[in-house]
């Protein structure tokens, strides 16, 4: 583990003396020793904003705990929370929101890097646009060696005044969901279902937020998003992901695309839109239905096969005495 000097605490003008800093950055992690220090250094190095960092360690078994305790001991902006057991990826993300006390919240990947003015730029954008619920930046995609391998820029009308237009665009464009690493108004965030326990849970969350307000898109590439084989989104399929989230409560038969559609439907039905606008939002789900019709059919076909196999196994085992 690298040795680092103490980092001086900085406060943004206008927030001095407040009970809580304006921003909480939540960093969920599990066995993240390879890239964690790089991520934490970039967060601690954010300039022009008063903030705190909450690390949620989902019961890591590598050197993650040692790294986190070292940073927390050296910088009073860093709070380390270690889970007593593995509670699942999405639950670990969601509890960070519930434990935050600041009016603005952002998640950070434990393997990503933020350029020094990213947090300030996002906060300034939200302060300048009171109706906006989220501010995000473009991203440079990097590999395990910090080499650029691609980039991401917003392709959706997330700043459109019509919530249904925002939803339609988000569901129409295939994209990596970097909006979930933006800065979010906590008042809007706590009204959502947060991240549901499915692989596309962050897309459902962003859809919910888009129904509550516009986003601010900062075109500069201020996020370095790491693409590597250890990311759960790249190494685990949707069925395995669902079972890992639900533990003993996981269903024997999993319909990942059907589950995703159910959560999108819930996101629309519980939105604050008037009835007529909610009907428009339901109709705006059609891009998702178009892309997932065949996968849902395969889900149902596989469920029929799995169900028949379970029935056959049960009949062979016979009644218990």
- Predicted TM-score (pTM) of the model is 0.85
In the block, which residue shows the tokens 């919530």? 163
Question: How far, in Å, CA of 175 to CA of 208, rounded?
Answer: 17
Q: Which one is the CATH code of 23-232: 1.50.10.100, 3.30.390.10, 3.90.550.10, 3.20.20.70? A: 3.90.550.10
Number of H helices, E strands in the chain: 12, 9
Nearest to 290 by CA among 257, 242, 316, 250: 257
**Residue 80 and residue 69 in contact, taking contact as beta carbons nearer than 8 Å:** yes
Token digits of residue 14: 């206008």
Q: What is the SS3 assignment for 141?
A: strand
Question: How far, in Å, CA of 82 to CA of 318, rounded?
Answer: 45
Q: What is the mean pLDDT of residues 180-194?
A: 98
pLDDT at 236: 57
pLDDT over 90 for what percent of the chain? 68
Question: How far, in Å, CA of 319 to CA of 129, rounded?
Answer: 65
pLDDT at 198: 85
Domain map (residue ranges) of the chain: 23-232, 238-316
Where are any strands of DSSP class E within 148-236? 148-152, 183-185, 215-226
Mean pLDDT in the chain?
87
């Amino acid at each position: 583990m690298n040795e680092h000097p103490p980092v001086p605490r900085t406060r943004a003008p206008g927030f001095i003396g407040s009970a809580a800093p304006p921003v909480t950055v939540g960093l969920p992690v599990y066995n993240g020793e390879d890239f964690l220090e790089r991520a934490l250094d970039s967060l601690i190095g954010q300039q022009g904003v008063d903030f705190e960092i909450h690390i949620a360690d989902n019961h890591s078994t590598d050197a993650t705990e040692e790294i986190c305790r070292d940073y927390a001991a050296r910088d009073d902006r860093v709070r380390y929370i270690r889970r007593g057991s593995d509670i699942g990826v999405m639950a670990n993300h969601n509890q960070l929101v519930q434990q935050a006390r600041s009016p603005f919240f952002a998640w950070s990947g434990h393997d990503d890097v933020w350029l020094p003015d990213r947090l300030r730029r996002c906060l300034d954008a939200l302060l300048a646009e009171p109706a906006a619920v989220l501010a995000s930046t473009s991203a440079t995609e990097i590999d395990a060696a910090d080499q650029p391998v691609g980039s991401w820029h917003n392709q959706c009308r997330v700043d459109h005044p019509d919530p249904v237009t925002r939803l339609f665009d988000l569901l129409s464009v295939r994209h990596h969901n970097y909006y979930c690493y933006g800065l979010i108004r906590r008042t809007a965030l706590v009204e959502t279902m947060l991240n549901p326990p499915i692989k596309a849970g962050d897309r459902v969350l962003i859809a919910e937020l888009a129904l509550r307000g516009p986003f601010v898109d900062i075109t500069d590439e201020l996020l370095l998003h790491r693409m590597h084989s250890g990311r759960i989104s790249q190494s685990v399929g949707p069925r395995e992901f669902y079972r890992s989230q639900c533990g003993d409560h996981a269903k024997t038969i999993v319909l990942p695309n059907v589950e995703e559609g159910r959560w999108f439907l819930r996101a629309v039905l519980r939105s604050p839109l008037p009835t007529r606008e909610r009907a428009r939002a339901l109709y705006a789900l059609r891009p998702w239905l178009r892309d997932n019709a065949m996968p849902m059919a395969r889900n149902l076909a596989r469920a029929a096969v799995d169900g028949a196999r379970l029935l056959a196994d049960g009949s062979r085992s016979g009644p218990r005495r």
